[in-house]
Structure formats: C-alpha cells, structure tokens
Amino acid sequence: MQQSNRMRTFFLAAGFSLTALLANGTLLAGRASADTIVMSAGSNSAQRSGQSAINTADTNIDVSTDGGVTFHKAFSSDPLTGSTFAYDVLPNTNWVTPTASNVAGIPGIWFFGQGTAIFQVHFQLPVGFTNPSLSVRLHADNFATVFVNGQLIGADASDVSDVNASAFSGVNWEGAGDFYSTTAATPFHAGDNILEFHVTNIFLAGNISPGGLDYRFDYQYDLQTKVNFGCGLSTVNNTANVDGLGHSIQDLVNAAAAAAKNHGDYVSATTALGQFLRAKGLITQAQYVDMVQCAAHSSVGK
C-alpha cells in the first residue's frame, strides 16, 4: 500500500491522476504480464453477448441499423427457450438484438423488412503486442459476416441461399454455432480494436421476423518483455503488476501517453513513473535517465 501511495504521489506531482490513467481505455484492466497475457471467455464480460437483464441495454455492444451512420446499445433478448422458434444459446451468453422486445416472448423485432444490422464490440491491445489471435463462435438469425477492424475473418456458409429462401432451416441459430478464427497480424493494431458482426435478417411478408445473434470471442497475444518509452525498446524489463492493481510498466506508460495533452505532460508523467520505479528498485539510475531522455526525444504528445 505504501508503494502504491508513493506512486500516486509521483503522478499527482506531475499533474496526473493515476486513477484516471488506469481507467483509460488503452488498458486491459486486471490483466498484465511480463511475458504473456491471455484473455479468455469468462474473464471479461465484454467478450460475451447478452451480459445484461433481458430487454435491457448491453453496455458492451453497440449496434447500427442505418449502415453504420449512428450506433446505440444493443439489447439482451429472450432466446424463446421452450418455444417452437427457440434459439440455441452458447454457454454463458444470451442473444442480443437492435431493439428491446415489443412482442411478448419474442426477441427484438426488426420491422424494417430485409436488412442488415452492424454490431460492434471494442477490445484493446497494448503497444508492443505480438502474435495476436482471435476466435469467435456465434449463432445468428439469419446470417452473419465477421470483421476485425474492417477485415473479413468469417461468413456464414449459408448466406447466399438464405437470402432467397422462402423457409429457413435454422442452421445459423441452432447447434454449436459457427466458428471463425484468425492468427494473421494484419487485422490488429495497438489501442482500440473493433470486432464487428454484420447480421442480416430476412423479413417474410405476413410473418413476425426476429433477428439478432449471440457470440463469445477469445483473443490472446504475447507482450514484449522490454518497455518502449517512445523511442524503441529500452533495457527496462516490463515488470508485471507493478502497481499492485495488475498493470505492467508498459501499461502505465501507455496510459500516460494516452492521457497526455501535450509532449510535456508525457515527459512529466514518465519522469514521475521513473522516480517510482527507481525508488522501488526496479530500474537503475542509468535506466531512469535513459527512459526520461527517451520520452523527451519521442513524438508522444506532439
């Protein structure tokens, strides 16, 4: 506790709130490692659909029904358990739809005829990540295509036939669900990443036509073992849980960079962090000098 308070003092002296830094969206709260960080289903509610009460907004998922012009929160929906039209549900998930149910016992109804809703989920990757991978399992009504930062990673095999079908087999909302994965580095980048589901609903005249999806996704990556203060990898080890709150040194550097309003802010925050690390015996005096000089010569905040 004393070390944590000293760290807060250093950051406050530099004009920053450590609490605000750690709450910044560039961090993966509660997860940090000097070697490998693994995020898996169940460890973060943002990775599973339907994490709110039925007919209430799921704050982790945004949805658009106007082609991505505007977004609002999706709604957790009744999967019609026990009915003739019941959806299968993945473990620890629930279905989400663009609207709350307006028909008793039926998920959110899309009364705009045939159309596509865009569901978005955000996840964060730190500076210095390597070997990213992501896997998704989902059900959709009627079918879905899946993107990471705009790059296609999977599409329901039955999408073409379903568009023109007069009756639907339920292949995309029954059973174990569709599974897609990627280990390619190209879709991912440091900071905010977007997992996007384009879900097409088919409306048949004279029929109630619910639509939506449920999903779970996992992502993992390796984290560099040395810290980058803005001018390449340093000799400072990326020590895990340096603040007692689960954040590595690189996490704190990333937070300082994201919160800095200008270059001077970033240099001040890095200096404060260096003083804390030096007092804690995690870096040498030479490394402290190097990290401050690196921050001063970096382009962060400029």
Please write the tens of the pLDDT for every residue from 88-140: 888 889 889 888 766 655 655 554 456 789 999 998 887 667 788 899 999 98
Q: How confident is the model at residue 226 (pLDDT cuts 50, 70, 90)?
A: confident
Q: What percent of the chain has pLDDT over 90?
A: 28
Same-domain check for residues 186 and 215: yes
Residue 302 lies in a domain: no
Cut 0.85: pTM above it: no
> Residue 89 belongs to a domain with what CATH number?
2.60.120
Same-domain check for residues 137 and 48: yes
Question: Would you state the pLDDT for residue 263?
Answer: 92
Instruction: Give the structural domain span for 139.
Output: 39-223
Domain count for the chain, please give it. Answer: 2
Q: Which of 190, 223, 256 is the last residue of a domain?
A: 223
Same-domain check for residues 178 and 88: yes
Same-domain check for residues 31 and 67: no
**Could you tell me if 126 and 31 are in contact, meaning their C-beta atoms sit under 8 angstroms apart?**
no
Q: Which residue has the higher pLDDT, 65 or 162?
A: 65
- What is the rounded average pLDDT of the residues 261-275? 91
Separation between Cα atoms, residue 72 and residue 41, nearest integer Å: 24
Question: Would you state the pLDDT for residue 131?
Answer: 80
Separation between Cα atoms, residue 36 and residue 240, nearest integer Å: 10
Q: Which of 223, 256, 276 is the last residue of a domain?
A: 223
Q: Is the pLDDT of residue 225 over 70?
A: yes
Task: Please report how many Cα atoms fall inside a 13 Å half-sphere around the Cα of residue 294, on the Cβ side.
Answer: 20
**Could you tell me if 142 and 242 are in contact, meaning their C-beta atoms sit under 8 angstroms apart?**
no
Mean pLDDT of the chain: 75
Same-domain check for residues 115 and 172: yes
- Report the b/e string of 23-38 with b at 16+ CB within 10 A: ebebbbeebbbbeebe
Cross-strand partners of 233: 228
Interstrand relation of 212-223 and 36-39 (parallel, antiparallel or unpaired): antiparallel
Q: Which of 195, 223, 251 is the last residue of a domain?
A: 223
Q: Is the pLDDT of residue 191 over 60?
A: yes
Question: Would you state the pLDDT for residue 151?
Answer: 95
Q: Which residue has the higher pLDDT, 162 or 56?
A: 56
**From the centroid of its chain, how far is CA 10?**
30
Phi/psi of residue 254, nearest 5 degrees:
-60, -40
Please write the tens of the pLDDT for every residue from 19-59: 444 444 333 222 222 222 233 222 233 488 988 888 889 99
- Pick the closest to residue 252 from 10, 60, 2 (CA basis): 10
